[in-house]
């Protein structure tokens, strides 16, 4: 039996999910695909050929409103779907505005799967309302397709106690720090990361640490800690106001930071440590920034753009549980979404 | 609602599970605990005080036949339980003889959870019959509490393709190889591992590679490969006939292997590689033995007694998915059992 899907957002992640689903055959059935301009809705399932057309349109940068229903009509059609059946809504947007709609879907008995972090890092009360149904999953929001949330949930469900989570949750910043360690000036390493396509269009977005803070908050909330985003202590890698500068100017302004970063690294080395940009989550709180780690730690051994998550728990104390691998990219994110969809789809068929 | 449990085997792993369950409160309800001499059966749940008595008895090395029912009676009482309700049978024995009973339990609608590898590495037909119900779990058999099987199943369930699994699945052999790398003669490293309690009572058991071969076969069968144990190519670390020698004599006889091992290591180094005892599983087959790995690989970076599993799949290709941590020990194994029990218990309550 195919799992009915309503897909919100059809950017790189949404498209990667649709492509994976097509490769899977008839395991998923897309009833609706929406973007910010409108969408295509078909209660009996969008035929494969039509779905491919939609993906091709989006690839070319076109909106779905022109190809299908305009926004208001599409939303009304999807609301009718919610009332008529059961399935899974996938939030692959980058919007903060989906919470209300997703709560409606949960109330109607649908499952909800997130690639979008923003609804999960709003007020704690929203998070609590979203998760209280037990039909919400968000594996892809931390470490993309790496099974970080699944493993954490399994530990919690079996009565383990989490003492501390430390993670390299930005492959981009992991790459930067490793290059600086190899002797490349910080500003040059940023240019290199840009050239490889590792950064956001404006690299200040990565250097702000905000996205890592969102992931740290999601981990903390998964542990049951009722924290707000502003309670996550964030050390940005450049002054926040620099984000206002045009990219080229921004890169110029990074030069004075080269010496500062070099000095931090040398201090760490003198203490026999490596310098990493980490998220640290424990019952005591949540912080994100440059931290020193023992050379023997799996966190120090990280080189490239991978993510590394180290879980220290009552059961995994002397030797922690470590998960590492590609923590970004649309294929890996789609893998995380699919895992959640299959888990929810399995239980919604009860 | 508590999950009803029938526990077969009450050695270190069975006891660790019972202790974890006691710490969890009333999540699990033990209806029966059996060992090879007999058992204690109580259809309404063994009271906590009585369960603690049983654990204390076993700690002292006593059999349950004297404290409760003799073997035949205990088995008859458990069979009655199987007919009357639903729950989870946990095989924490080291016996090959449990298959028949476990098939009965599955037929009656019970779930089955394994710490015991042996029933899973018998004839493929047995494996197929055991797993066909969909109510059998065996996370603890590979990597103890590390979520190796869960992650693999999630990848397979979402249509990923596994190209290759490579793993350090024996913490003991991992430790040995790392010590040899540090310049300690092989025979001395074996004595050291014994002194730390890392080996089986007779270390020939570890050096035979047989236990790693069982784990490799379980991974291969999880991928759907219908292999038999004798089809796993195994390179033992000492001639098999040496296992017949008394331990002290065995350790003496290891001395001539020191030079051989040193030479293997140097050859690997000349090629810029590390030498590890690995299990390698791919659609092409299954082998276990000394293998060279790139220095940059997470397999080369393993030091201590941890396990490391590297999954190369269609989605995790350039950067594989890596899970590492303690892959042995009764606490970690109990964690694996609990995760399986909770998963099965959740679905059996449907």
CATH number at residue A77: 3.40.50.720
CATH number at residue B307: 3.30.360.10
Sort out which chain A residues have CB atoms less than 8 A from B342's CB and list them. 154, 157-158
Q: Which of B150, B315, B339 sits opposite A335 (nearest CB)?
A: B315
* Inter-chain residue contact A326 with B338, CB threshold 8 Å: no
**Do B183 and B207 belong to one domain?**
yes
pLDDT tens-digit readout, B177-194: 999 999 999 999 999 999
**Do A11 and A27 belong to one domain?**
yes
Average pLDDT over residues B130-146: 95
Beta-bridge partner residues of A326? A306
Sort out which chain A residues have CB atoms less than 8 A from B159's CB and list them. 20, 23-24, 27, 338
Please give, rounded to a whole number of angstroms, the shortest distance from the CA of A316 to a CA of chain B: 7
Give pLDDT, residue A349: 42
**Do B10 and B107 belong to one domain?**
yes
CA angle A122, A127, A133 (to 5 degrees): 155
Average pLDDT over residues A70-94: 95
**Do B216 and B314 belong to one domain?**
yes
pLDDT tens-digit readout, A311-332: 999 989 888 999 999 888 888 8
Residue with structure tokens 């998960």? A323
- Summary mean pLDDT of chain A: 94
* Inter-chain residue contact A147 with B151, CB threshold 8 Å: yes
pLDDT tens-digit readout, A129-159: 999 999 999 999 999 999 999 999 999 999 8
- Secondary element (H or E) of residue A78: helix A71-84
Instruction: Examine residue A196 and state whether it is found in any structural domain, yes or no.
Output: yes
Instruction: Examine residue A344 and state whether it is found in any structural domain, yes or no.
Output: yes
pTM of structure: 0.93
**Residue contacts between A and B (CB atoms, under 8 Å):** 115
**Do B195 and B299 belong to one domain?**
yes
Helix B171-181 vs helix B186-195: angle between axes, to the nearest 10 degrees?
130
Give pLDDT, residue A345: 84
In 3D space, the residue among B142, B162, B166, B163 whose CA is nearest the CA of residue B291 turns out to be B166
**Do A123 and A17 belong to one domain?**
yes
Strand order in the sheet with A88-91: A69-70, A38-41, A28-35, A3-8, A88-91, A111-114, A136-137
Domain count, chain B: 2
Q: How far apart are CA A28 and CA A345, in angstroms?
A: 9
Assigned token pair, B261: 């091992």
In 3D space, the residue among A223, A235, A332, A348 whose CA is nearest the CA of residue A287 turns out to be A235
Whether B328 contacts chain A with CB within 8 A? no
Average pLDDT over residues B24-41: 94
pLDDT tens-digit readout, B279-288: 999 999 999 9
The answer to whether the CB of B32 falls within 8 A of the CB of B76 is no
Sort out which chain A residues have CB atoms less than 8 A from B347's CB and list them. 347
**Do B165 and B109 belong to one domain?**
no
pLDDT tens-digit readout, B199-209: 999 999 999 99
Is the torsion defined by CA of A139, A140, A145, A148 positive or negative?
Answer: negative
> Where residue B350 falls among pLDDT bands split at 50, 70, 90?
very low
Could you list the residue range(s) of the whole structural domain that residue A191 is in?
A: 153-326
**Do A264 and A314 belong to one domain?**
yes
Give pLDDT, residue A37: 95
In 3D space, the residue among B92, B82, B86 whose CA is nearest the CA of residue B113 turns out to be B92
Average pLDDT over residues B87-115: 96
**Do A113 and A262 belong to one domain?**
no
Strand order in the sheet with B111-114: B69-70, B38-41, B28-35, B3-8, B88-91, B111-114, B136-137
Q: Which of A24, A147, A315 sits opposite B335 (nearest CB)?
A: A315
Please give, rounded to a whole number of angstroms, the shortest distance from the CA of B65 to a CA of chain A: 30
Sort out which chain A residues have CB atoms less than 8 A from B326's CB and list them. 316, 318-319, 321
- Secondary element (H or E) of residue A43: none
Assigned token pair, B56: 């204390």
CA atoms within 13 A on the CB side of A328: 20
Assigned token pair, B25: 């409160």
B333: nearest CA in chain A? Answer: A315
Average pLDDT over residues A297-314: 90
The answer to whether the CB of A187 falls within 8 A of the CB of A260 is no
Give pLDDT, residue A332: 86
In 3D space, the residue among A198, A203, A295 whose CA is nearest the CA of residue A251 turns out to be A203
**Do A117 and A260 belong to one domain?**
no
Q: What is the ipTM of this complex?
A: 0.90
b/e map B278-301, b = 16+ CB within 10 Å: bbbbbeeebbbbbbbbeeebbbbb
- Secondary element (H or E) of residue B273: strand B273-282
Q: How far apart are CA B85 and CA A9, in angstroms?
A: 46
**Do A256 and A163 belong to one domain?**
yes
Q: How far apart are CA B119 and CA B196, in angstroms?
A: 30
**Do A320 and A343 belong to one domain?**
no
Q: How far apart are CA B292 and CA B167, in angstroms?
A: 12
Helix B330-348 vs helix B12-23: angle between axes, to the nearest 10 degrees?
60
* Inter-chain residue contact A332 with B315, CB threshold 8 Å: yes
| SS3 state at B25 | coil
């Amino acid at each position: 039996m195919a799992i009915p899907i309503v897909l919100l957002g059809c950017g790189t992640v949404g498209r990667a999910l649709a492509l994976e689903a097509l490769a899977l055959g008839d395991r998923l059935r897309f009833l609706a695909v929406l973007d910010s301009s409108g969408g295509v809705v078909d209660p009996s399932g969008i035929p494969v050929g039509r779905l491919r057309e939609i993906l091709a349109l989006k690839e070319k940068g076109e909106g779905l409103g022109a190809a299908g229903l305009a926004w208001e009509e599409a939303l009304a059609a999807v609301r009718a779907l919610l009332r008529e059946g059961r399935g899974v809504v996938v939030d692959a947007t980058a919007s903060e505005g989906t919470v209300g709609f997703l709560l409606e879907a949960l109330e109607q008995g649908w499952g909800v799967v997130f690639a979008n972090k923003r609804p999960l890092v709003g007020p704690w009360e929203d998070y609590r309302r979203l998760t209280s149904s037990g039909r919400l999953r968000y594996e892809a929001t931390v470490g993309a397709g790496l099974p970080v949330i699944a493993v954490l949930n399994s530990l919690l469900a079996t009565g383990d106690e989490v003492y501390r989570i430390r993670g390299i949750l930005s492959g981009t910043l992991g790459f930067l720090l490793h290059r600086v360690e190899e002797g490349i000036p910080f500003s040059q390493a940023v240019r290199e990361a840009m050239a490889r396509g590792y950064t956001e269009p404006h690299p200040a977005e990565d250097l702000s640490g905000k996205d890592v803070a969102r992931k740290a908050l999601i981990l903390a909330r998964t542990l049951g800690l009722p924290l707000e985003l502003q309670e996550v202590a964030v050390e940005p890698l450049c002054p926040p106001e620099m984000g206002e500068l045009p990219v080229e100017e921004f890169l110029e302004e990074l030069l004075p930071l080269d010496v500062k970063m070099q000095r931090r690294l040398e201090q760490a080395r003198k203490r026999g440590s490596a310098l990493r940009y980490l998220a640290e989550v424990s019952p005591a709180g949540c912080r994100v920034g440059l931290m020193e780690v023992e050379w023997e730690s799996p966190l120090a051994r990280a080189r490239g753009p991978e993510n590394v998550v180290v879980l220290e728990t009552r059961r995994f104390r002397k030797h922690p549980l470590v998960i590492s691998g590609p923590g970004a990219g649309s294929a890996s994110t789609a893998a995380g979404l699919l895992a959640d969809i299959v888990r929810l789809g399995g239980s919604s068929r009860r």
